[in-house]
Amino acid sequence: MPDPRQSGEKQAVVIGGGISGLACAYRLQQRGMPFTLLEASDKPGGLIGTVEEDGFLFESGPQSFQGSESLLQLVRELGIESELRKADPRAPRYVLRNGKLLKIPMSPQAILGTSLLGLGSRWKVASEPFRKTQPPSEEESVAKFVRRKFGHEILEYLVSPFVSGVYAGDPEKLSLRAAFPTLEEWERAYGSVLRGAMKSRSAQPKERKSAGAPPLCSFQHGVSTLAQSIAAKLGDRVVLGAHVEALRPCDPGGGITQIQFTQNGRSDTLVANAVVLATPAPAAAHLVASVAPLLTRKLAGIAYAPVAVVGLGYYSEQIGQPIDGFGVLIPRAEDIRTLGIVWNSSLFEGRAGEGRVAITGIIGGATDPDVVNESDQAIACIVQLDCERVLKITGAPIASCVWKHPKALPQYNLGHGHVVKAIREGERATPGLFFAGNYLSGPSIGKCIEEGFATAESAAAYLQGGAAGHV
Ligand SMILES: Cc1cc2nc3c(=O)[nH]c(=O)nc-3n(C[C@H](O)[C@H](O)[C@H](O)COP(=O)(O)OP(=O)(O)OC[C@H]3O[C@@H](n4cnc5c(N)ncnc54)[C@H](O)[C@@H]3O)c2cc1C
């Protein structure tokens, strides 16, 4: 890459090749912007990782993604539509209650008829549209909001397990405004979240309404196909094994930054007019110390929940419980350590081979952070015993893999909105510095891609002479 101080050509460097950084670099490429992506590990994708072993296909991170219209458009652009696999949209999800698997009600009508909840809770749902309320002036936790609107049972058996599934979070700490902003908006606008949901649905165009919720998707060879296909499009602009150590402003106020990195034990530098930090927040906190020191504390203060992922393979006849859906979420009151079990081979073909099943247990999270300090063997053992109990499994697994993510998911805890606002202000105050990542506008793959695209548009506009900061 030429030195912009000599060539006059403006260029961007994206740091971090998870899905956020890949999406950002892809959009920069589409905009015709010269760029380089530096990724510390030896593969693109970050938390995304598919492992194929002995005929089993396991995911070490995200198990699937929601096929939103923008994500499906990207899949078409990448030419990997034929590899896309959509799960059956009717596949049920379950919650464990008193040791039994009960279907999660997916509509207000289904909530009224579910045996998962007592009569009192069902009445609270039915009457919610008629009990108009307003959000309190101070920021509210998810737990406080749900207790106030729907009561403890709905928190315990529906919302907390769901929060574990998305954020591996603690609902007592998670901010409603930051994690589920539409719920607060609906309460403010209509006095009722169910009324808000109905209004928002009726405002949708007819085609969107009949299409229903975006399907859960993966690829024939797993979620990694998405990251690998983007990286393939970026070609030799992706530099793997390049760990960025520090950023140095070259000409104060001029917006040119020197990026110091090591690759294969050798130190090297790049110079860029725009730097996109697409790393997790702790790494970004370290890197901004010399260019935007005020942001270091904000970024370092974002809490992360640790998670361990255990892939298990069995012969079908070992499973005593029908597994005909997405999987099961396990409320903390059930006294089982595993947070949830995904039934991979029920969702997508080609995960286990004939007569076999692949399942994945997720354990840890903000309410049980210490489990990732256990050995792989100990973690596999805990999850295996939990799966045996929940799914009535007999005999040992024929395949078992463990992956630990000490900083798996950023926590959108109380105050998170102020942190994101400060990061945006810091971006505007530091010409040429941009952020992307799962701690900004949502942790899902779809949100990371949208955030990566938006950051690329801001960086491209800046390089073309526009204003600093996120558009
Ligand atoms: C167990 C688990 C299950 C999940 N399940 C789902 C799911 O089912 N569906 C869904 O939509 N989402 C899911 N998610 C969330 C989603 O996978 C992540 O939020 C998303 O992949 C994060 O992407 P990212 O690019 O922002 O960050 P990351 O994937 O963390 O990527 C950051 C990259 O930056 C690199 N990096 C860090 N420091 C440096 C440095 N100094 N120099 C160079 N490179 C550096 C890292 O090596 C890494 O590759 C799950 C997450 C986890 C952990």
Best of 445, 447, 455 to mutate for ligand 1, by most ligand atoms within 8 A of CB? 445
Q: What's the CA-to-centroid distance between 44 and ligand 1, angstroms?
A: 10
* The pLDDT of residue 212: 65
Best of 47, 403, 453 to mutate for ligand 1, by most ligand atoms within 8 A of CB? 47
Quick one: which atom of ligand 1 is closest to the CA of 307? 1
Q: Please state, in angstroms and rounded to a whole number, the distance separating the CA atoms of residues 155 and 140.
A: 14
Q: Which residues line ligand 1 (CB under 6 A)?
A: 15-21, 38-41, 46-48, 61-65, 243-244, 278-280, 283, 307, 309, 405, 408-409, 437-438, 443-445, 448
Quick check: 298 and 422 in contact, CB under 8 A?
Answer: yes
Long-range CB contacts for residues 366-369, cutoff 8 Å, separation at least 24:
366/167, 366/168, 366/169, 366/170, 366/173, 366/303, 366/305, 366/411, 367/164, 367/170, 367/332, 368/337, 368/339, 369/305, 369/306
Q: What's the CA-to-centroid distance between 267 and ligand 1, angstroms?
A: 25
CA neighbours closer than 13 Å in the CB half-sphere of residue 51: 20
Q: What's the CA-to-centroid distance between 304 and ligand 1, angstroms?
A: 12
| pTM, two decimal places | 0.95
Q: What's the CA-to-centroid distance between 435 and ligand 1, angstroms?
A: 14
Q: What's the CA-to-centroid distance between 366 and ligand 1, angstroms?
A: 17
Q: Please state, in angstroms and rounded to a whole number, the distance separating the CA atoms of residues 56 and 45.
A: 20
In this structure, the strands spanning 304-315 and 399-410 are antiparallel
Q: Which of 284, 278, 267, 282 is nearest to 39 (CA)?
A: 278
Pick the residue whose CA is nearest to atom 5 on ligand 1.
62
Any residues with CB less than 8 A from the CB of 235 and at least 6 apart, and which?
Answer: none
Q: What's the CA-to-centroid distance between 135 and ligand 1, angstroms?
A: 33
Residue type, 43: K
Quick one: which atom of ligand 1 is closest to the CA of 446? 11
Best of 13, 226, 279, 309 to mutate for ligand 1, by most ligand atoms within 8 A of CB? 279
Q: What's the CA-to-centroid distance between 282 and ligand 1, angstroms?
A: 13
Using only the alpha carbons of the chain, give its radius of gyration.
Answer: 23
Q: Please state, in angstroms and rounded to a whole number, the distance separating the CA atoms of residues 419 and 1.
A: 34
Cβ-in-10-Å burial (0-12, 13-18, 19+) of 441 comes to middle
Domains present along the chain, CATH in parentheses: 4-47+222-302+413-463 (3.50.50.60), 108-211 (1.10.3110.10), 304-410 (3.90.660.20)
Q: What's the CA-to-centroid distance between 49 and ligand 1, angstroms?
A: 10
Q: What's the CA-to-centroid distance between 231 and ligand 1, angstroms?
A: 15
Q: What's the CA-to-centroid distance between 55 and ligand 1, angstroms?
A: 26
Q: Please state, in angstroms and rounded to a whole number, the distance separating the CA atoms of residues 284 and 278.
A: 8
Pick the residue whose CA is nearest to atom 41 on ligand 1.
244
Q: Please state, in angstroms and rounded to a whole number, the distance separating the CA atoms of residues 76 and 71.
A: 9
Any residues with CB less than 8 A from the CB of 347 and at least 6 apart, and which?
Answer: 64, 87, 88, 91, 216, 218, 326, 327
pLDDT tens-digit profile, the chain (471 residues): 555 555 567 899 999 999 999 999 999 999 999 999 999 999 999 999 999 989 999 999 999 999 999 999 999 999 999 999 999 988 999 999 999 999 999 887 888 889 999 999 999 999 999 999 999 999 999 999 999 999 999 999 999 999 988 899 999 999 999 999 999 999 999 999 999 998 888 887 776 666 667 889 999 999 999 999 999 999 999 999 999 999 998 876 667 899 999 999 999 999 999 999 999 999 999 999 999 999 999 999 999 999 999 999 999 999 999 999 999 999 999 999 999 999 999 999 999 999 999 999 999 999 999 999 999 999 999 999 999 999 999 999 999 999 999 999 999 999 999 999 999 999 999 999 999 999 999 999 999 999 999 999 999 999 998 666 676
Quick one: which atom of ligand 1 is closest to the CA of 451? 26
Q: Please state, in angstroms and rounded to a whole number, the distance separating the CA atoms of residues 214 and 68.
A: 5
Quick one: which atom of ligand 1 is closest to the CA of 244? 42
Quick one: which atom of ligand 1 is closest to the CA of 245? 41
- Provide the token pair at 198: 């109905």
* The pLDDT of residue 255: 75
